[in-house]
Each structure stands twice: as structure tokens, then as C-alpha cells.
Amino acid sequence: MNVNYEEISPSDIHISHVRGMISRSLDRISPDDAAYLFATGKSELEIRNALAIHLHHNLAPGQIAIREWKRHDLAILDSALHPLAIIEGKVWSHTDVITRQKLMNGSKSIRAELENDIRKLAEVTDTYSGVAGFITIVLFSIDIDESDSLVEYRDVVKYASLHRRGIKSMKGLENLMHDAHGKLNDLLNNYGEFIYLPLWAGSFHGMTVKSEIFILKPERTLLDEYRS
């Protein structure tokens, strides 16, 4: 039987390779299950775990996927336990991204969290030669106005007022997602090459829940700068 392994080579792994691995892991969570997870809280752990399980079953012999390796969200190691690739991840709502204060300002902003992850990648590439580093940013939204729940939507949706504010301000979910894309694109352009992948479109109590992911490979010169 032929097996198509996910074989990792740090010298030639590209963000499109990471996107492919994430895409092939999506069927481990159904769209409606993903909708439930996003509606009831931020779900970076579930997304990371889906990818980790996919890699656990599909990495080439001698390669290992490890969660929470030395403070990194997900690492792929060789048989000598040397890291081949590191993947960091964060989850934000689309409304977070279109809110300039949340996007750009302060120690808890999206930009600050992104730069913290770049700093972590700079540290690990300084310690281990040849490791490839990636950062994933998941965006999600819930169309509160579509609720058919018998209970108040605020009682079943985490961050309900946040989602409602974003969708109302942009006059619809698709407009909100489009505006968030533009603002996140503008931010990520400052840090390296990135790529986009739609994730799940599901339903929770009649509410449409959509999610997507951006995958960034920070520029090597930027890692050198953060390392110095």
C-alpha cells in the first residue's frame, strides 16, 4: 500500500506546504463542530490539536509532532529530537482585526502578540540551526442575527456583543471578513511572506460561523533582527 507521508525538510518547506497540511487536517473537525467550538470560546487549541493528530498519523517515519515543545505551540522533530519546523498560533475575531486599538496598540494587541511569536521563533532558530518557523493567525466570526436558539444568544455565544458590533458596523458578515482581510494583509506585509486558507463554514443554533487562517513565514532578516 502506498502511503503519502507528510515529510518535512527544513531546507525546502514552504508556507504552501504548511497550508496543505492544515487543509488535510480539517476533516478531523466537522464544520458544525467547529462552529460550536468557535461560538463557545476561542479555539486555538482545538485547531492545533487537529493538525497535531493529522501529523501524528501521517508524518514520515522518524519524524514526530509534539505539542507545547519548549513553549512552542507545535513542533515537528526528527528522530534525534532536533526541531525541523515550529508552528505558533493565535486566534482572533474579525472584529478584533478591524478595531485599530486591538490590532495595533498596546501589549495585548494583535501586532504585539505577533511580534512576541516572532521573537520566540528567533530564539529557537538561534539555538537550533536549520529549523523552519511559521506563525498562524485564525480569524472567526458568528452571525448573531441568524440565531434560532430558544435561549438568548448572549447566553450561548462567547463574545456575542463583540461579533454583533463588528457585523453591525460593517453591515454584514461578508463585509466584515473582507475588511478584516485587508487590515490583516497590511499588517502581515511588514513581517514576511504569508498565505491564506478558508477553514470551516458551519452553523450553531442557526447562526453562520466562519473561520479562516493566515500562515506567515517571517523573513530571515527579521528573525536576525529580533535575535540581536
> 125-178: per-residue pLDDT in tens?
889 988 999 999 999 999 988 777 666 767 789 999 999 999 999 999 999 999
End-to-end CA distance of the chain: 49
* Distance between CA atoms of residues 202 and 198, nearest Å: 12
Provide the residue ranges of all domains of the chain, joining segments of one domain with +.
15-227
Q: Detail the DSSP E strand segments found in 113-161.
A: 132-142
Residue 186 in contact with residue 156, Cβ under 8 Å?
Answer: no
Dig out the grid coordinates for 105 from the structure: 496598540
| Range in 1-15, 56-70, 132-146 the model is least confident about | 1-15
Answer with the residue of higher pLDDT: 156 or 88: 88
| 164-192 confidence digits (pLDDT tens) | 999 999 999 999 999 999 999 999 999 99
CB 133 within 8 A of CB 85: yes
Q: For residue 2, what pLDDT band results from cuts at 50, 70 and 90?
A: very low
CA distance 22 to 228: 32
